Structure 1
Amino acid sequence: MYADTKSDKLARLAIAPKSRSISIPDLSEDVFLLILRGISAWDVVTCQRVSRAWRTAFSKDEYIRFVLQSYRRAREIRALSPAMLNLHPSPEATCANWKQTLLSVASRYHNITQGKTRKIDRYPMAPLEQLGDFFAVGQWDYHESQPGGRLYYETAAMHLKIGVKPYLFRPTLWSYDNGLLVYAPAIGEEYGHFPQVLALLDVEIGKKYPIPFNARDKIIRNLRLKDRTLIVEWAEKDPFHNLNALEQVNRHFANCFDVRQGDDNRGWAVTWRSEWKMHFLGLPPNYHDRFFSTHNATHYAVYFWQPNRSMYTGDEELPIESLSVWDISAHSCYQPSTDPAGKRRPPDDAGPYIVSRFPFNQLDFFGIRQRSTVSLMSLQLDSDALSLTVRENVGVAGQGYFDPAERLWCAKTTSFPFVGEGPRLYREWDGNLPPYRGHCSMESADVKESERWFLPVMDVVDSLAGVRLSLVETCFSGQSMENKLVVRAKLEEGEDGEEGTWATLGDAVASEVSSMGRIAGDERWLIGQNERMEVVVLKF
């Protein structure tokens, strides 16, 4: 047998059929769908950048709809009917921009799982506290969820000895709800001029709208936006009468505004609804007389806690406590702040009116009287069930605070009807709440179980999207170790159906939203405040 010559080899290669490599776009549809089922939306976007053939294959609308079936909790997908995600097109599905929807969902969920931000917006705030136009409700300096109960005022930058002195975060003057933010923009902006110091911000487009709240001769105590209803609680700057030889009382009021979309669903309009007097006598503008409130679209509840100024001994020395629930559903032009004598007061059904009052003895009966050992964390209204829920948090005796193996709290929930008679529902160990660190803690969602090296500060949960945003603080021991605030994000349910893992934002980005110990947001963005008096929006 003779050896093949070079010409013989070339001849055989010319006669032999050429081998052809098979790429993913060349696969049959059933196999291609199996591949799509196992990759994420961000992987699909990445595959579109490989080549022209890959871009054509991975950009087909029917395949994009197939991938988006795994993201039914995303905001864009929740707005669609289930039939629009079918593999085979329907008349309404052909009109949608599926490529843009894929890019929006893919980039957002990729950034959340990677701890990255797409854009950072900053909105300077007016220094109303320094100007005397904002006097926050006093925070607890003692709380049962803290070891020893005692807390101290320190700035977020001065907490190197947190193990020795648990500190309180400073109060903030802004509120967020479902894409809208209420705050006091810096003077010089279009809607920051006096006397309308408050503005409504559409976070998505960054446009501001005026709020018809005249701040002249008023001290803002608190504001809250919920269920497209804005409540501004304020006090008159001038005292109304003397409480005793040393203290004077300022009348306190609450203004209610409706937040509605404008014509053709464009823009937002804030309109007047009503005003009512919060306390029949008023409160001294100090940090010792405290009130805490909550509201929804139809009801408003406020809890008062005041030190007892009695000269007698015994039970009279306990703080004065009361709880009131108002019906605020009706519109009313009457302003009690302009009618001190009440001569023009309309009938109760013509405006806000008190549904029920609970004095200290009834609070004691329900088991929610705080006395001097405060454990209150939040109030929650349910207008459908006509019930009020009080949540409390107590550090379990004998359990450590910074020892990760012993850190434990007991969250308690008490629900009772605020109209008519009914049973009280009391639950211990009902979820996990963070320890009290200021008013921000009272807005926190339930946190996950105690983690080994992190102390919870505040959690925000977008339950519809299954996204959790968390602000925690490291609790390491050692003289050479510095504790810091950490911002994290994760999907409550990952792409594989199991709980996702935490993604930690960078320290520089986290410092932009964690300085005041308060965060807000949803799957689209994370909102907080930095040390430069700016509201910061981290967009995913």
Structure 2
Amino acid sequence: MRDITELPHDLFLVVISYLSPRACVRCRRVSRQWLAAFTSDGTSRLLLRRNFPRCREIRLATAAAAAAVLTTLGPLSSIVSNNNLRAELACMIAQQESTPGKTWAPAFADVARRYYHLRQGRPRIIEKLNLPDKASPGGFSFRGVATWNRFLRLDEKTANFHYPDPIWSYSQEDGVLVYPSAEACCGHAPAPNDPHEQGQVQGPHPQSQYDGYVYQVLDLATKQQVPVPFDIRQKHIRRVRLAQGVLVFEWAEAHPYHQLNDREVVHRHFVTVFDVVRVPTPAATTTEGRRSDQLTWEVTFRCEFKLHFLGLPLNRFDRFFSAHTSTHWAVYFWQPNRSLYQDDPIEQLAVWDISSPSSYRPSEDPRGDKGPPPKRTPHWSAVGLWSGVNGTHNDGDGAAAADPGADPKTRARISPASAPIGPRVIRRMAWRELDFYGLRQRATPQLRSLALDDRNLYVVEEEHRWADGQHSWLTPPRVHFVWCTGIPIVPVPTSGYPGAAPGDDAQTPSAASAVVDGPVVGPVWVDACGANGDVNMSFCSRVASSANADDAASGSAFGSWPPPLAGALEVASPEELVKQLKRRPGAGGSSATAAWPWALVSDGPPGGFVAEPPARWLGLAPCWRHEDFPYLTVSEMVDFAAGVRVTARHCFMLETLSVHVRPAISVKGAAAEVDDDDEDGGSKISSRKATKKKKRSKIELLACGHIAGDERWIVGEDDSGHITIVRF
């Protein structure tokens, strides 16, 4: 034997298991014989699973293999409810069938390169996207919602405590960035190899007529770019957010609607909702000349409704916070009381059901006479319960019974035949209810953000020892204090819950879509955390435990809850994985399964699964904000499935002029790797945490105090008005 490649295959695998992934890729350059051995599909897949078991490629391949098995039980649409995930899995299954045995060699090289740069904290590629001015001559206007008048002050030094909303949004679930393109704002975005741009075609450009479609959907993996059919002309964008395949624009009309008082005018505000869906397409060519993944993106209008029934002034005093899922949208309003008696601010909260599409646009109907007639359902409330008020549109002839003397269980029900079409308010909460749940902000608000899941609304609040400004507490806390209040808010379906009426069949789509339209009764969740500290400088017990490798199996990493499914990666085949999934209980919350890009949990009949993104449970207080007190974590990016976390912190008490940002990259859950260039001769890096500093991150990523991304890249904004994409 003259070469290790001539060893029996099992012995060859044992030998190369001692090599680092980077060394395995380098071995391909030795000779043709080594190239064939180290690029074989089986060897590359084994190396990938052994070194990077939680990488995206392995998780997608495992999900695709299991989905291929599950299709024997029914169509893929009945197994995976997430449209974008279903399209990606179907495309991956088709690619594996068309090119068998040619997938894992390039995948292993890409992943090895990615995690090498992650470990080094060194960007492989830095890309820039031009953003238009927030008040550009092209008609783009972004008037973000004002933040609280609170900042951090210590010994006459100040730092930001709140940051304004960015004008872009990123969805980790789909790897899609939505942003306003400066090129599109100037007239039109030139396409690659455009003959009009190159002078090969005479005459006017077909896109020379400015259509106002400034926002673009950019797939960062394939670099495909699709315009969003949202005309920004004569609009002030207040906020943009993309989550769960749903794109939401919150905006105001450019011209005022009526005069509020001698000094203020009111602008009508609206919410426009789009579906961002991955669809198959013929083979295309990206800007780099490479074939795409046979998939593209389609942005379609879903619905539109008024954000506030009277409108809001465009000032720095009236504020609102919002959050949304694929089916619901929640908003909290805080407005100063303009009476002469200096009363407490006006506060209210509303939750909308946006699951039903509707072509009616109230922004195009100022008089309100073109829409369907409104239908109102019963209004009643009790102490500790939210009142259900539905001032909605309904194209049907039937309305819910409104007999005040009827039994509450009877009059709280909407029949499927009379269920409203289009967006509708399902809950409103005013001063009394806010007081009851301890959410009334008054003149010293602590509200940080809102969050929604499939059943509950979460209100996140925060206060700091060094907070100062008009809206800070008069008696600040001793430490940095964060807490979260969760309240059941979304009605449950009439089928499949205790007390459902006889005849409600879970298999009937109309019955499954009906909901109990009354107060939602349930326990209130309150979770708090303060940076108390001890002699070991562990300022947060949760964060300290998440750094312990022994606690990883219990789900404490990154504060995720419930714990992940143990041993999901050790299954012998996709069929065995399917059996494990079927043995899991059908009820409960999300689960951060390491083997899947999304946790597929049993729901309904055997073989039916729905997709849930693994993430930190929203009911936990954001104690990661003070995990290294007195440092303050400005923003974080966590890819829970991959075990990759990027945090951006600052500690202004150590600076004399401005904030000092100390970003850190933590790779958790990846296998240990020996780096050939390490000064210590190849000592193993910790398999649970690897922290590196990046000097340039302050000016490259954190101008708006927000970062996003996943294990492949980080997205942020620089000081020059550009979106920065750092690829690893």
Q: Shorter chain as normaliser: what TM range? A: 0.7 to 0.9
What does 1:64-463 correspond to in 2, within 5 Å? 64-70=44-50, 71-81=52-62, 94-131=100-137, 133-142=141-150, 146=152, 163-166=157-160, 168-177=162-171, 178-186=174-182, 187-188=185-186, 190-191=188-189, 193-264=210-281, 266-313=295-342, 317-346=343-372, 347-348=393-394, 349-383=420-454, 386-395=455-464, 408-418=479-489, 419=491, 420-429=520-529, 447=624, 450-451=627-628, 454-463=631-640
Task: Indicate the residue corresponding to 1:9 in structure 2.
Answer: none
**What TM-score do you get using the length of structure 1 for normalisation?**
0.80
- Deviation string for 1:33-85 (max 9, x for gaps)? 33444444223113333455544443333322221123231111111138989
Separation in structure 1 between the aligned mates of residue 654 and residue 306 of structure 2, nearest angstrom: 49
1:494 match: 670
429 and 82 in structure 1: CA distance in 2 versus 1, 3 angstrom threshold = same
RMSD (Å) for aligned C-alpha atoms: 3.2
Match of 2:683 in 1: none
Unaligned runs of 5+ in 1: 1-19, 86-90, 149-160, 399-405, 434-443
Change (3 A) 1:478 1:271: closer
SS in 2 for 1:447: helix
Q: Deviations over 1:1-34 (max 9, x none)?
A: xxxxxxxxxxxxxxxxxxx9x7654655555433
Cα 1:82–1:63 change in 2 (3 A) is farther
Which range moved further: 489-498 or 170-179? Answer: 489-498
Deviation at 1:304, TM superposition (A): 0.5
**Matched residues, percent identical?**
35
Give the corresponding residue for 1:518.
706
Q: Which moved more, 1:69-78 or 1:456-465?
A: 69-78
Q: Please give the alpha-carbon distance, in whole angstroms, between the structure 1 residues aligned to 2:63 and 2:259.
A: 64
Aligned pair 1:62/2:42, yes or no? Answer: yes
Contact 1:392–1:411 (CA under 8 A) maintained in structure 2: yes
Residue 139 of structure 1 aligns with an amino acid whose one-letter code is T
What is the rounded CA distance, in whole Å, between the counterparts of 1:104 and 1:281 in structure 2? 53
> Which structure's CA Rg is the greater one?
1
CA contact (8 A) 1:241 1:249 kept: yes
Q: Please, which moves more after superposition, 75-84 or 512-521?
A: 75-84
Give the distance between the partners of 2:156 and 2:113, measured in 1 at CA.
Answer: 37
Would the aligned equivalents of 1:40 and 1:495 in 2 still touch at CA under 8 Å? no
Q: Structure 1's 447 and 42: CA in aligned 2 closer, same or farther, altered over 3 A? A: farther
Question: Which protein is richer in strand relative to its size?
Answer: 1
Contact 1:408 1:450 in 2 (8 A): no
1-structure distance, mates of 2:622, 2:243: 15
Cα distance in 1, alignment partners of residues 179 and 63 from structure 2: 38
Partner of 1:13: none
Deviates more, 1:247-256 or 1:445-454: 445-454
Q: 1:287 to 1:83 in 2, by over 3 A?
A: closer
The alignment of Structure 1 onto Structure 2 pairs a total of residues equal to: 477
Q: In the alignment, is the contact (CA less than 8 A) between 2:482 and 2:622 conserved in 1? A: no
Shift of 1:167: 6.1
| C-alpha displacement of 1:165 | 4.3
Report the Cα distance in structure 2 between the residues aligned to 1:162 and 1:170, rounded to whole angstroms.
23
Q: Please, which runs of 5 or more residues in structure 2 have no aligned partner? A: 67-95, 191-209, 282-293, 373-392, 395-419, 468-476, 492-519, 531-541, 544-557, 559-620, 673-685
* AA aligned opposite 2:116: H
